[in-house]
Amino acid sequence: MMIELTNIEDTRKPVIGQILEELERKRKEAASSGNEEFANNCWRESEALKVNILYIEAFEKIKSKKYRDAWNDLERCEIDAASIERNSDSDYYTKSRCHFIEKQVSKWQSLYPYCVFASPGFKVGYYTCSICNHKVRPRSRCSHVKGKIYNGELCVHVAHDMEFLELSIVTKPVQKYSVMHDDETLDFSLINYLSDFLDNAFENWEAHWTRKSFPIERFSQVTPDSDCPCKSGKKFEECCINEKEISIPHVDFQFFKEISDDKAKVRFPY
């Protein structure tokens, strides 16, 4: 069945839930009868549909300025798309739009101001395979590979007897949802600016990080003891306050549709 899945209204149509229920029913039926290939296909179709829905929901949250909720959804898209990629060929990964979503998620994440995260550390007693319940040991492993699908089920290693050890502050986390920032103190203007141009989650765009120079007069509202607009890490009075021009970080967005000149004008952040 061909379905239109572009905006948030499409994701709420009853047919979407019906398709997911039917795929799950067929997956279980195929798994019970030993038809592993068909069970795996059902898993792929279901997971790809869910990733598409989740990405649309993340885009809707960005448009609604629910940036933290969108960030968490984008991370989930990233994780689930990686599982689909590992268990499908490149043609399916592209056809299902998961390849597009993977690329767009990375670009959205690059625009976020988040840079500090919490990383919990645990001691794990032992792991078991989710497929056969085998206790995983260095010299005693089952035939199942973590991250692969078997008879329509994704293989994961289940942790047992976990003991919390520490909490570290990191800049490159394993789990991106553990943001340490208060969103009220952050600048989401880049994301807000971009989302104003987009009508749906599947429009393509690119972001090119550059620098742009402006006359010193444009920074009249920056006080001497404020951080310098050039982002050197110094105070304005210790850095560029006596310059004729200041070069500041700038992002050029490239859209694959026509944008009116008045809407595409440069937005000065000061």
Write down the pLDDT at residue 141: 86
Q: Are 125 and 161 in contact (CB under 8 A)?
A: yes
How far is it, in rounded angstroms, from Cα 118 to Cα 133? 31
- State residue 224 phi and psi, 5-degree precision: -55, -35
Q: pLDDT-derived band of residue 139, with 50, 70 and 90 as boundaries?
A: confident
Flag the least confident range among 73-77, 135-139, 147-151, 200-204: 135-139
The model's pLDDT over 245-254, given as tens digits with 9 standing for 90+, comes to: 999 999 999 9
Write down the pLDDT at residue 267: 80
Phi-psi region of 46 (alpha: psi -120 to 50; beta: other; left: phi over 0): alpha
Decide if pLDDT at 261 tops 80: no
Write down the pLDDT at residue 270: 78
Name the residue with higher pLDDT: 3 or 120.
Answer: 120
Q: Kindly state the average pLDDT of the residues 194-221.
A: 95
Q: Are 96 and 84 in contact (CB under 8 A)?
A: yes
How many alpha carbons lie under 13 Å from residue 60 in its C-beta half-sphere? Answer: 13
Decide if pLDDT at 222 tops 90: yes
Q: Which of 44, 54, 139, 142 is nearest to 96 (CA)?
A: 44
- Looking at residue 154, its amino acid is L
Collect all residues with Cβ–Cβ distance below 8 Å to 31 and sequence separation of at least 6.
Answer: 39, 151, 152, 153
Q: pLDDT-derived band of residue 1, with 50, 70 and 90 as boundaries?
A: very low
Q: Which of 106, 143, 141, 113 is nearest to 127 (CA)?
A: 141
Collect all residues with Cβ–Cβ distance below 8 Å to 21 and sequence separation of at least 6.
Answer: none
Decide if pLDDT at 27 tops 90: yes
Q: Kindly state the average pLDDT of the residues 254-264.
A: 80
pTM: 0.91
Q: pLDDT-derived band of residue 2, with 50, 70 and 90 as boundaries?
A: low
154 beta partners: 149
The model's pLDDT over 228-245, given as tens digits with 9 standing for 90+, comes to: 999 999 999 999 999 999
Q: Are 51 and 87 in contact (CB under 8 A)?
A: no
Decide if pLDDT at 260 tops 80: no
Average pLDDT of every residue of the chain: 94
Name the residue with higher pLDDT: 69 or 262.
Answer: 69
- H/E element holding 121? strand 117-123
Buried b (16+ CB within 10 A) or exposed e, 149-174: bbbbbbbeeeeeeeeeeeeeeeeebe
How far is it, in rounded angstroms, from Cα 49 to Cα 44? 8
The token duo for 130 is: 């989710």
**Domain-wise residue ranges, the chain:** 8-112, 118-170, 204-255
Which residue matches tokens 């550390």? Answer: 121
User: What proportion of the chain, given as a percentage, has pLDDT over 70?
Assistant: 98
